[in-house]
Structure 1
Amino acid sequence: MNVVSDSLKSGSALADDYINRFSQVQDLYGDDFRREESWSNRAAWLSDSEGTRVDRKALVDCLRQYNSKHNDHKEVHNSLDLLAQTSTLAVVGGQQSGLFTGSLLVVYKALTIILAAREAQEKLQRPVVPVFWIAGEDHDWDEVNHTYVMTPELQVARIKMDAVPGPKSSVSHIRVSPEQWKQALGHLAALLPDSVNKPEIMQLLNQAAEESGNLSDAFAKLLGILFGELGLILLDSADPDLRQLEVPIFERIIQQNDELGQTYQASASRITGQGYQLQADVAEDGANLFYIYEGNRLLLQKQQGNFVDRKGVVNFTKDELLTELRDHPEKFSNNVLTRPLMQESLLPVLGTVLGQGEISYWAITKDAFPALGLKMPILLPRMSFTLVNGTLRKYMEHFGLSFQDVQHRFDDARRNWLNAETGLHVDPKFEETRSAFEKLYEPLIRELGTIQPGLIPLGEKNKDKILEQISYLERKTKQALEKQHEAALRQWEQIYVSLFPMGKPQERVYNIFYYINRYGFSWIHDILESCKSYTPEHQIIEM
């Protein structure tokens, strides 16, 4: 396995500047993750602010109970033992609970958390544990109910689990039936090519499904299989036992809701004022909390001092909402702007691992932390990878393609190669023919118009038909050339579908088990060994 760095196109200008030009956006964030002093200063602040977070023992007891059910590894319990000690810090990152873990970026986020915790522990000479925050309280089922693999026919195949009709509830509370699991597993089994690894994969996935009544539980079990032996602690934000511990934090968010809202508005204005787009909604009347009513997760907003949902289904005064919180904490959950505050209030967060979209919207929360006596943690960009096997590398070398060619110039490179192979530059030749025809035909039409004006529209119509026939011949010529070079063009297609399926980076589309089926389970750990240290730069893994 060889690892080389190469850039990947960014989806966020703000995140790109945070990673590559921090000085330009420093006022929107906290400490620079690249500076050694940022880590030592953060560690010192966490030691001094132990009292701002929930009781460690209660938190560890809650996490131990959850991990014993879904991630019961000796190394995880060792991490939990360490977390119970006041000297221990954490590197935290999270993701929604996708089908069969979702796309590769979920796995890469877990790898980043583990690697960053190891490095920080060595750097600071104090315990640092990795924690993965499963966003089970999110309710967008359509974002998590599918995943993708590549078929032998070079098609990107979607595996989807349809939801049973019901309330729009948190993913962790949406029941998944045995029949739904069976259908999704059957689809995956049909798409994965036979391999020495496939029986073990399907056995593990079937076992996780049998022991899980929802996507979040299965997600946790699979993360445990992949990373439990590396000591990765799991946390489900929808865990009812955890929600009990969160009541005091929710109380403060409700009591200081106006102040928090003002900080979000001010930050949003600074971000847009510097020319960046907002990556999260910052409603002027937003309460940035969800309330679960009859199974539906309703986003609260403020109207005339009360907390209501958009449709007016629920309506609470501040005191009524606080009473409801104390009586029914399980009915409350965070949105993207209050989740960082909750994470900071629960765990001694040294650094939090974020994707580019998350880095962008966390900028909105910077001034909300001090409002609760907290401080924004170090934001660590998730590590990014593209897997390139030997066959793909051979094809790319044969066609003289770099990774950047595939990413930015693929269609042009493919067309130029085909033209060079045939010795016939189809596009310019037909363009030249069209231009020459129009140059000759336009004067003729004008001349015919002197004979009879009605001949002009007839001539224009005739010209369009001839141009249409030239275009038809051009298409047929290209099809004939592609047929003539069908085998080589299939290799071109394999390169692109493998590296940029659906025009997106590989890590945002394909599922981890597609690659485990080919390379076995060990390659995930091999990445950890191959990456000598954390880096925010995109890396190509040559398998």
Structure 2
Amino acid sequence: MFQIPYEQTGYFSKLMIDYLCKSNQLSTLYNRFPSIENFKDQILEKQANFPSANRQILANSLQNQYKKFSVTAATQNNINNLKNNNTFTVVTGHQLNLFTGPLYFLYKIVSTINLCKELKKTYPDYDFVPVYWMATEDHDFDEINFFNFNRKKFQWNKEVSGPVGRLNTDGLQAVFDQLKKHLPLGNNANELSLLFENAYLKYSNLADATRFLANKLFGNEGLIIVDGDDVALKQLFVPHIKEELNNLSSFKEVEKSYDILKDYIIQVNPREINLFFIEDGLRERIVFEDDFYKVLNTEIQFTKDDLLTLVETNPEKFSPNVILRPLYQEVILPNLCYIGGGGELAYWLELKEVFTLHKITFPMLLLRNSVLLTTEKQNQKREKLKLSWEELFLKTDDFLQKKTKDFAQHAFDFEQQKQFLKQQFTALKEVTLQTNKSFIGAVNAQEAKQIKGLENLEKRYFKAERLKNQDQLDRMLDLKIALFPNNSLQERVDNFSTLYVDYGKEMIDILLKKLNPLDQNYAIITL
């Protein structure tokens, strides 16, 4: 396994790099940094303020959610352990992407499982349970209705509305039929075919299909899969729903982070009310207008008293948005740490004051493992072409520019010439200002013309050099495109099935064996 520090890959935001470097500017936006030694205090804090009664409700709800499924001994043991005050969770969350979506779905869950193992080694008196939180209440169907196998897109075409977890699986037979046509012969391909068929054609809704799939892939590791679209679990969230409706408090609390985050991109912006109204086929924002609470794009509206009564009697009709969903998760789970991608952690860093207001422990935030999976053949090709991994992480234009320069037998430093030219014109401008200021426009124009001329010469020079080495560059580019499709990371494009047909479950076993969740490096693993 080869590793590259995240900051050297060029694919991580300044916010994430500063967070990983423990920048003082960000220190007030999180509770504790996720180092193994910091988990002790996190355990004690969560243990002190997580109600024991919530544990029994959680365990009962999970038992009910798993009724239709074959539960592994490891998962059942973890559900039972959640009733104990010395058991804690580590959570990752993900959308209900068709057939798991991009590869990083696996990396999130592997990071979560492996962190639980590391914590058990360090703190043997406690138990740690890996949790996958299914985003069943999301309604962004277009983000989840496809996956890529061998760079071919397989898409579920369907007119839908409302929470995706409740969607029926009608129409997925057509996707399955198309997938089967493209699967090769072999045992691993047969496994994939059965996996898709048993998940999506034998379960009636997307939440159940996703649970079956994740359970099949990771049940032996004791993974617990949580569906927050649950009446009993929503009941635990009632006081926090009321706080939001009564005081519109999240909006004010999130804004407190903006001054600290002013040098970064704000990931999400809060609403005045950060709740949706949810029913089958419906998930729409709740807004306050003309003295009524209204459900957008519907005729539904409530007085304040009627709405608060509905919260008490039917809390399942209220769905937290991106601002309040993390709070809901931490209310119902004895959780220590949330594991997510850079974009997810960016919005979590806006939320600490929301947790403070609601008196809920803010979890530790851990960046998930990122991985580039390569075959032995690809690695041999890389070595033969004398390419470093660092070079392959360059964007395509920079990559071609660098390799063209490397090939050039008579390299010419155009950048040095441009800097020399700029220095000459700077001196000329100083003389011009002391003699005749009216010439300054002509001097500037001449500088721009000559710089442009040099840039055109540079382009022609590199084009000629590139043509001389076109065959070698094409072979390099073929490898780069195979590993970084569309100038993006493999983990954001390819589905696990692409590699599973060749490596089967061994692929997941390798990830579980090699990935260290606390390691701040991009991993390159040759299968």
Taking structure 1 as the reference length, the TM-score comes to: 0.81
CA–CA distance in structure 2, aligned partners of residues 500 and 71 of structure 1? 38
CA-CA distance at 1:94 after TM superposition: 0.7
2: distance between equivalents of 1:46 and 1:358?
A: 22
Deviation sequence 1:473-494 (CA, Å, 0-9, x none): x9xx99x959x966x5663343
Give the deviation of 1:421 after TM superposition. Answer: 7.3
* One-letter amino acid matched to 1:334: P
Q: Secondary structure at the match of 1:69?
A: coil
Partner secondary structure for residue 521 of structure 2:
coil
CA distance in 1 between counterparts of 2:118 and 2:402 reads 46
1:525 aligns to what SS in structure 2? Answer: helix
Deviates more, 1:524-533 or 1:54-63: 524-533
Q: C-alpha displacement at 1:501, in angstroms?
A: 1.1
Matched, 1:120 2:110: no
Code of the residue aligned with 2:76 in structure 1: it is H
User: d(CA) in 1 for partners of 2:24 and 2:405?
Assistant: 46
- The answer to whether the 8 A contact 2:403-2:473 is kept is no
Could you tell me which of 471, 490, 494 is aligned with 2:478? 494
> Secondary structure, in 3 states, of the residue corresponding to 1:97?
coil
Residue aligning to 2:27: 26
Counterparts of 1:352-391 in structure 2 under 5 Å? 352-391=338-377
Please give the alpha-carbon distance, in whole angstroms, between the structure 1 residues aligned to 2:404 and 2:259.
49
Q: 1:391-470, aligned counterparts within 5 Å?
A: 391-414=377-400
Are residue 173 (structure 1) and residue 162 (structure 2) matched?
no
Q: 2: distance between equivalents of 1:230 and 1:212?
A: 23
Q: Which runs of 5+ in 2 are unaligned?
A: 415-455
The CA distance in 2 between the partners of 1:340 and 1:218, in whole Å, is 24
1:104 aligns with 2:103: yes
Correspondence 1:50 to 2:75: no
Match of 2:437 in 1: none
Equivalent position of 2:138 in the other structure:
138
Counterpart residue identity of residue 13, structure 1: K
Query: Partner of 1:212 in structure 2?
Result: 203
CA separation of 1:64 and 1:298: change in aligned 2, threshold 3 A: same
Answer whether contact 2:16 2:342 (CA < 8 A) is retained: yes
What displacement does 1:495 show? Answer: 1.8
Dislocated runs of 4+, deviation >4 Å: 415-425
SS in 1 for 2:192: helix
- Give a deviation string over 1:347-366, Cα, whole Å, max 9, x none: 11011112111111112210
Q: Is the 8 A contact 1:99 1:144 kept in 2?
A: yes
- 8 Å CA contact retained: 2:46, 2:361: no
Distance 1:15 1:316 in 2: 42
Instruction: Check whether the contact 1:251–1:322 (CA below 8 A) recurs between aligned residues.
Output: no
Structure 1 residue matching 2:393: 3-state secondary structure: helix
Q: Does 1:160 pair with 2:160?
A: no
Between stretches 112-121 and 136-145, larger displacement belongs to: 112-121
Amino acid at match of 1:220: R
Query: Are the equivalent residues in 1 in contact too, given 2:92–2:108 (CA < 8 A)?
Result: yes
Q: Report the alpha carbon displacement of residue 66 of structure 1 after superposing the two structures with TM.
A: 1.7
Aligned to 2:495: 511
Seen in structure 2, the aligned counterparts of structure 1 residues 384 and 71 have a Cα distance that, compared at 3 Å, is: farther
Query: Following TM superposition, by how much is the alpha carbon of 1:98 offset from its aligned partner in structure 2, in angstroms?
Result: 0.5
Question: CA, structure 1 residues 321+160, in 2 after alignment: closer, same or farther (shift >3 Å)?
Answer: same
**Contact 1:264 1:365 (C-alpha < 8 Å) held by counterparts:** yes
Shift of 1:35: 6.1
Q: Partner residue of 2:253?
A: 264
2:104 aligned counterpart, secondary structure: helix
Q: What is residue 512 of structure 2 aligned with on the other side?
A: 528
Paired with 1:417 and 1:537, the residues of 2 have a C-alpha distance of: 25
Tell me how far apart the structure 2 counterparts of residues 409 and 11 of structure 1 sit (CA, whole Å).
13
**Cα gap change, 1:208/1:116 in structure 2, threshold over 3 Å: closer, same or farther?**
same
- Which deviations, in whole Å up to 9, do the C-alpha atoms of 1:233-264 show, x marking residues without a partner? 011122xxx23332241343223442523443
Does the residue aligned with 1:197 lie in a helix, a strand or coil?
A: helix
Q: CA deviation at 1:196?
A: 3.8
CA-based RMSD: 3.1
| Residues 2-401 of structure 1 mapped to structure 2, 5 A cutoff | 2-7=1-6, 8-34=9-35, 36=37, 38-51=38-51, 55-70=54-69, 72-125=71-124, 126-150=126-150, 156-163=151-158, 165-166=159-160, 168-177=161-170, 180-238=171-229, 242-257=230-245, 258=247, 260-272=249-261, 274-283=262-271, 286-292=272-278, 295-303=281-289, 306-311=292-297, 313-401=299-387
Task: State which drifts further: 189-198 or 56-65.
Answer: 189-198
Preserved contact between residue 76 and residue 230 of structure 1 (Cα < 8 Å): yes
Q: 2 CA distance for matches of 1:341 and 1:532?
A: 27
CA deviations 1:253-283 (Å, max 9, x no partner) are 22344252344343343244x3122111223
Q: Deviations over 1:316-370 (max 9, x none)?
A: 2332112223333332211111111111110110111121111111122101112
Amino acid at match of 1:227: F
- Cα deviation code 1:457-482 (max 9, x no counterpart): xxxxxxxxxxxxx99xx9xx99x959
Answer yes or no: is the 8 Å Cα contact 2:236–2:331 preserved in 1: no
Residues 22 and 32 in structure 1, CA contact (< 8 A), matched pair in contact too: no
Show CA shifts across 1:496-527 (max 9, x none).
Answer: 23321122111111101111111111221222
Offset, 1:420: 7.9
Deviations 1:18-37 (A, max 9, x none): 1223433111222111261x
* CA distance in 1: counterparts of 2:226 and 2:348, whole angstroms: 20
CA distance in 2: counterparts of 1:412 and 1:357, whole angstroms: 25
CA–CA distance in 2 between the matches of 1:248 and 1:186? 43
Alignment CA distance shift 1:186-1:85 (3 Å): same
| Cα shift readout 1:169-193 (whole Å, capped 9, x = no counterpart) | 100112121xx22221222233344
Matches of 2:408 and 2:522 in 1, distance apart? Answer: 36
Q: Deviations over 1:268-326 (max 9, x none)?
A: 43244x3122111223xx21111025722101233366432344633223321122233
Residues 1:401 and 1:140: Cα distance change in structure 2 (over 3 Å): same
* Residues 372 and 524 in structure 2, CA contact (< 8 A), matched pair in contact too: yes
Distance 2:48 2:4 in 1: 38
